[in-house]
Chain A
Amino acid sequence: MHGIGVFVCHCGSNIAATVDVKKVVEMAKLEPGVVHAEDYQYMCSEAGQEKIAQAIKEKNLSGIVVCSCSPRMHEATFRKCAEKAGLNPYMVEIANLREQCSWIHKDIEEGTEKAVILTRAAIAKVNLNTSLEAGESGVIKRALVIGGGIAGIQTALDIADAGYEVDIVEKTPSIGGKMAQLDKTFPTLDCSACILTPKMVDAAAHEKINLYTYSEVEKVSGFVGDFTVEIRKKARYVNMDKCTGCGVCMEKCPSKKAKSEFNSGLSNRPAIYTPFAQAIPNVPVIDPTQCIKLKTGKCGVCEKFCQAGAIDYKQKDEVITQKYGAIVVATGFEVIKLDNYDEYAYSQSKDVITSLELERIMNAAGPTKGHLERLSDGKPPKNIVFIQCVGSRCAENKGKSYCSKICCMYTAKHAMLIRDKYPDVNVTVFYIDVRTPGKNFDEFYRRAVEEYGVNYVKGQVGKVAPQADGSLLVHGVDLIDGKQLKISADMVVLAAAIEPNPTVRNIATMLTASIDTNNFLTEAHPKLRPVESPTAGVFLSGVCQGPKDIPETVSQAGAAAIKVVGLLAKDKLMTNPCTAKADELLCNGCSACANVCPYGAISYEDKLINDHGIRKTHRVAVVNSALCQGCGACTVACPSGVMDLQGFSNRQIIAEVDAICR
């Protein structure tokens, strides 16, 4: 029995406003194979789905077309609905009447005409649909977290607490990330280290968590439930099992000229170092670009002083291969380079600093031991100017187009802390907008203004001019007063934009996870699936997905963890049945398809084929449907067209083409 049902959704007025849905229904009824057509206010609602289910049962439909929003939105919903009603879920096609019709057209006649054609194409396709059965594949009960900042740590802890093994891969020598560099956190002003280090210790001590610090992901293959990952453990030149973390080596190291990454380059560190005192693991690494022994063969001081005998100059990088069921990206951010903002004299004056640098200056473990000092002459500043939105909210050729989101709040924090500790210091903040949506955020900002007397000026700074006397003349504007301002400051702090860690591009490519034009990882759905990548089995945690502060990062980290746990808790995964399939009766066995398959899913077998009564052995292509991801590259490479893609077959697509061009 063959009969197609067509269900046209109004989507409230989203579709119905520019598409005459009744007309679409009438026209659909005229199409071959259609035995039922109706419209409804909200097809995705329970009542709408009930209508579909009822029609499937009553009219014994063999396939349905739902004319609604994008299939990326509700295809899964309607497939489930069909399945419940006893129809194979792959006998469902969606005509996208909302995103690709009603929302972009204004004229109702034009919209309706296009809607009819789109519906017709979907009907033509569904006529050729075949029932597909999803296969099954196993799940490896282990997760990988890439990045060991607060996002990665929190995700790993939550997954581990649920009872699954987790590996954290962190490219620097210690976990902790950017949060470890912060002094205080808004809006509560807790000490960042005091709340982060216990979590770092928990992660290190957790029996289910395994840390690969000073390591990088090198290669990823496989698919959801069964990823194979190669991790490069860079040579530390220190034996992790032997090292006791006494720190003598760092003290004795004669090469102390390297810039401390942890202190944002504001202080020096030895060639053998841990990034900071509370580093985890508390095992130093030797920086081969700085170590005299590794560069010249002479020195060996650290080896001499190490009582544990942990120094090993001959250590080599090690590549380990591990299997995972799920991968979480938590690669975080960096502050942008300020090369394009020389009007703020960042490169010309030591007293023009970024907020992250100020963070280190304010920190007791920082380069100035927590004293607020000018880096040029060590004098305490009297007038500090903060400049907001440096490199954020720019035109594309000028900087980052997005709002970095955290700057307004940390600037309020900095201003407040400075005014609290040094009441005689004048603090001026040039702002374009103060953005404080968050619990207790605006109150926090208001306190900076009302209780701490921070001078907020609506306007921007055009130039910072370093003067001969060492002061900085800030040329700004007060848009409210309508005045140009020239403020003599002795320190200027730039709220530089943040950008995704540059390594994320490479990682995204390895994971085949998509990234947007700003290098932020794309979520599977911006509202409904914010912690999942569109690539199955890959999840997002922290700033790699978009700018966010610590509380938001931690919530997202937990959300990513629960998604991972939900995946790892399954014993079997249903695989996408829209895979390639060769017609073995006609396959030439020419190998063109295997050459283009990115998954190695195609192999060849010699098969005895009965071709019109003549039995012959032929070399034919066989697709491993567990490996095939359904891209279709092979289908075009095949010269005779015997390789086809289920769900997107040649005939189905040609039927759509014909329906559109009719």
Chain B
Amino acid sequence: MQELISRLKELLESGSVQRVLGWKKGDFTFNPEPAYFNSAEELSEFVYDGFCGANLSKYMIKASNLEGVTAVLLKPCDTYSFNQLIKEHRVIREKAYIIGIGCKGKLSLDAIKAQGVKGITDIKGAEIDGDCNELKVETLYGEKTVSYKDSMLERCHVCKGKEHMIYDELMLESADTLDADRFTDVEIIENLTSEDKFTYFQRELSKCIRCNACRNVCPACSCRKCVFDSTKFDSEQKANVDPFHESMFHIIRAFHVAGRCTDCGECSRVCPQGIPLHLFNRKFIKDINEYYGVFQAGEDIGQTSPLTDYTLDDMEAEERR
């Protein structure tokens, strides 16, 4: 960790980068937030630990318009998003100095709370230099210990791997966190009856408060004007009582990012209502893999997206499972 901070200082002081895009401490140990660091002094606020889940690649869209080079810290999974953004001409590669940083799994406060921990005031054991086995949680009711693994975000259990797809230099160690199949949940839903599927999604989606956090955080949702804010379809966000966008919003959003979504899991991470939004995206990914061959967005910039591609003998819609 100290090594990383020294390197960032060096980069800033040498003038090879104008700023660093990383995370700074929050009010608590468990809520750091993305931040720019314009000088070596500002780095005193810098932090990188198990709570730094945010994918910084989307910030590079703005940073690409700033003067000079930005050093950006990208976890392995974030690099997929960055690649995808390069492919879509949304970020400028030369404006980024990518430090690929290690990851030992990112934590979810909800997952910790779900283990029966209440009144959290501080959490220790999330440091990237540590062994990340246990978390010591201080609460209003005393100290508790929970397993690091059980406290991880869902996406880390189905991790795409700890390899960076794009970087200028690599720092910090990673630890494997993959211990589940990422399509299991999708399959469970697929096997429900039509009626039960509907009931399930109706229950989940009825929690949506249309805060747009999912859209705003999504690295694939980088349109200068979202269709939901645009007049082009007569589909702009209207009064909250209008049912259309609740029912269709998430389907349309998932379709719009289909073939481009890297499955970074940010949508589910930020959803204040805890809706498993990744289940929509993963359904498209699963279908694409099954119907058109395995495809991972952001893995290879040269690859054509499955939705802007075809083969002469693609299956017919009626042949779907």
Contact = CB atoms under 8 A, between A and B. Distances in A.
Interface of A: 583, 586-592, 595-596, 604, 611, 616, 618-619, 637, 639-642, 644, 650-651, 654-655
B233 A641 contact: yes
A52 B229 CA distance: 40
A589 B234 CA distance: 23
B233 A654 contact: yes
A640 B89 contact: no
A616 B65 CA distance: 9
29 contacts: A586-B225, A586-B230, A588-B222, A588-B224, A589-B90, A590-B90, A592-B88, A592-B305, A595-B305, A616-B65, A619-B89, A637-B308, A639-B256, A639-B260, A640-B224, A640-B226, A640-B227, A640-B230, A641-B227, A641-B230, A641-B233, A642-B230, A644-B232, A650-B232, A650-B233, A651-B233, A654-B233, A654-B234, A654-B235
Nearest to A616: B65
B224 A596 contact: no
Contact of B224 (A586, A592, A651): A586
A592 B232 contact: no
B225 A590 contact: no
B307 interface: yes
Interface in B84-103: 87-90
Closest 10 pairs between A and B when the two form their complex, measured CB to CB: A640-B223, A590-B88, A595-B308, A586-B225, A641-B227, A639-B256, A641-B232, A589-B89, A596-B308, A650-B233
Interface centre among B89, B234, B304, B308, by most A CB within 10 Å?
B308
Given A586-B223, A588-B224, 9 more contacts: A588-B90, A592-B305, A618-B224, A639-B223, A641-B230, A642-B230, A650-B232, A651-B233, A654-B233
A589 B224 CA distance: 10
Nearest to A653: B233
B36 to A, nearest CB: 19
Contacts, number: 64
A488 to B, nearest CB: 52
Contact of A642 (B90, B225, B304): B225
B79 to A, nearest CB: 19
B255 to A, nearest CB: 9
Interface of B: 65, 87-90, 222-227, 230, 232-235, 256-257, 260, 304-305, 307-309
A651 B234 contact: yes
Contacts of B222: 588
Nearest to A618: B224
A604 B260 CA distance: 20
A639 B90 CA distance: 13
A592 B233 contact: no
A592 B308 contact: yes
B304 to A, nearest CB: 7
Contacts of B65: 616
Contacts of B309: 595
Interface centre among A588, A611, A619, by most B CB within 10 Å?
A588
A252 B222 CA distance: 75
A586 B233 CA distance: 14
A586 B232 CA distance: 11
A587 B233 CA distance: 15
B232 A651 contact: yes
Contacts of B305: 592, 595
Interface centre among A591, A640, A650, by most B CB within 10 Å?
A640
Given A588-B88, A616-B65, A619-B89, A640 B233 contact: no
A639 B257 CA distance: 8
Nearest to B220: A639
B85 to A, nearest CB: 9
Interface centre among A583, A590, A595, A637, by most B CB within 10 Å?
A590
A606 to B, nearest CB: 10
B174 to A, nearest CB: 31
A592 B230 CA distance: 19
A637 B307 CA distance: 8
B248 to A, nearest CB: 13
A559 B17 CA distance: 72
A346 B280 CA distance: 61
Nearest to A655: B234
B225 A595 contact: no
Contacts of B233: 641, 650-651, 654
Nearest to B235: A654
B304 A595 contact: yes
